[in-house]
Structure 1
């Protein structure tokens, strides 16, 4: 089978809520391991959609991040999860919001994309879909969820937008882009709170030009237009990839929020930017060896 090129690119984030002084060595090692696995998948001809789903699923089940197993209960004592995924070639997308007790919210989001007529399912409807479609569930929530690296019980008790999210963006060797994002939401959130992560065009976006996954204070990303704002600046305003992301992140900051975003373009360019204290991140491409970072300046 002929390929568009041998060019590929992959970027991952484990959230822009990194706290100075914390040791994220285990997180960086995990991100490097995932990036290497993603590189192998892309070199083997796997689709960008398969790769971003796999990357995010592995972060969800690791318990290292505020997503999946590392998610915390809301103020009502329930763990509610959000996730989304988007195929840039077709612009098919799927999302779940406030879903409970599924092992991989991003897998359910892909199921919504491929096996329903909806783009987003929320709450009881999302859980009913997951059950009907046979997605793996959690038998004992009290024994399953754990505190991720860098999060304490004190963080869960506060309501000052302490956040964490995971995401992946990829360009495959057929020239197709995809993005996926998953989160347990801000810590100490009220029941039913939904941020930017499951909103296509805000927390996640992919088309034929760019793939983006965002992380941060979701309320502010929603108000700033999020991923699609950056994508339109890149496509229509002639911004570079970094200029487009910074314009959106600067707007988030002007509204009182913080966070970060990762992006890959159709040419294989990668950008990983943040205006918070740090962002757990990794990247690899056909012409760049795997790299990881958390606090190194990006501007």
Structure 2
């Protein structure tokens, strides 16, 4: 056990220049302080990233959980994934409906199922069997998150938002978690990169990554695992590894961002959109919470 820890959060790479995100920045700062305290107390990276993402989901401030918009059929379908680095155990759900915390269900898949991903009706059945709280009145539960208008939710130009967390705990273990309501105006059954292990979410013994952006492009660019391999196998620095994949996303026509933590406690956050809501802290770096500050 060491005193080394690191934590990074993102609230999506969909912010628009000129809008005020001070509320989300304050929320992410407060949540990061809570996560810092948990890590210092010895909580595992796996538990901390789940707690962080569950709070981001329930806040209604981001395009995940309570802040998610309906698809073209009027249904809210949610995706989430979580992965533990040293065991490489993973769990995810896709197109799940009417649950308070999709990331909680994803963690239950990791811990209580031989599967890695469970989808749609099967995911809802799994959540019911494991006692997860459901949304009583979907029509009155969901809200528009900060910076999103009703017109935005009706667009089909791949506007997006996702939340995520990556952490290194004092036991030397890494974990990553990601959750999303998907892109606005999405077709029924659409699944992006978030719940696909290796695309939107990844953790191993060396690195933990959570992505946000136009998921189809992240999948086509190789996603989080491409960044991880750049860091582990190609000799990239942590920043270079993130930008290697993100530049390919941009070449293909997409945008977004990603956060990463390494086993040494280094943190990297990259985005090629207008901004990315993000916060981070470690045993060696002061807490930062920002949206538009350049990162390259």
TM-score range, shorter-chain basis? Answer: over 0.9
Is residue 108 of structure 2 the alignment partner of residue 111 of structure 1?
yes
How far the C-alpha of 1:25 sits from its partner, in A, is 0.6
Within the candidate set 211, 223, 226, 1:226 is matched to 223
Q: CA RMSD in A?
A: 0.4
Matched, 1:58 2:55: yes
User: Aligned partners of 1:186, 1:51: CA distance in 2, in Å?
Assistant: 26
Report the secondary structure of 1:289's partner residue.
coil
Q: Distance in 2 between matches of 1:293 and 1:27?
A: 9
Query: 1:142 maps to which residue?
Result: 139
Number of the residue aligned with 1:249: 246
Q: 2:284 aligns with which of 263, 287, 298?
A: 287
CA distance in 2, matches of 1:238, 1:158: 40
1:210 to 204, 207, 210: 207
C-alpha distance in 2 between matches for 1:158 and 1:47: 40
CA offsets, 1:212-259, max 9 Å, x none? Answer: 000000000000000000000100000000000000000000000000
Deviation at 1:157, TM superposition (A): 1.1
Q: Which runs of 5+ in 2 are unaligned?
A: none
Structure 1 residue 21 displacement after superposition: 1.4
Q: TM-score, normalised by structure 1?
A: 0.99
Residues in 1 aligned to 2:289 and 2:57: alpha-carbon distance in whole angstroms: 19
Return structure 1 stretches of 4+ with deviation > 2 angstroms.
none
Cα deviation per residue 1:126-168 (whole Å; 9 max; x = unaligned)? 0000001100110100010000001001101110010000000
Match of 2:177 in 1: 180
> Distance in 1 between the 2:294 and 2:259 partners?
15
Distance in 2 of aligned mates of 1:30 and 1:190: 31
**Partner SS, residue 77 of structure 1:** coil
Q: Aligned to 2:232, what secondary structure does the other structure show?
A: helix
Answering whether residue 273 of structure 2 is matched by residue 276 of structure 1, we say yes
Tell me the equivalent position of 2:162. 165
Whole-angstrom CA distance in 1 between matches of 2:19 and 2:274: 11
Q: Quote how far apart the aligned CAs of 1:22 are.
A: 1.2
Aligned mates of 1:74, 1:286 — CA distance in 2: 41
Q: In structure 1, list runs of 5 or more residues that go unmatched.
A: none
Please report the TM-score for the alignment, with normalisation by the length of structure 2.
1.00
Residue-by-residue CA offset, 1:40-89 (whole Å, 9 max, x unaligned): 00000000000000000000000000000000000000000000000001
Of the three residues 19, 22, 28, the one matched with 2:19 is 22
Shift of 1:23: 0.9
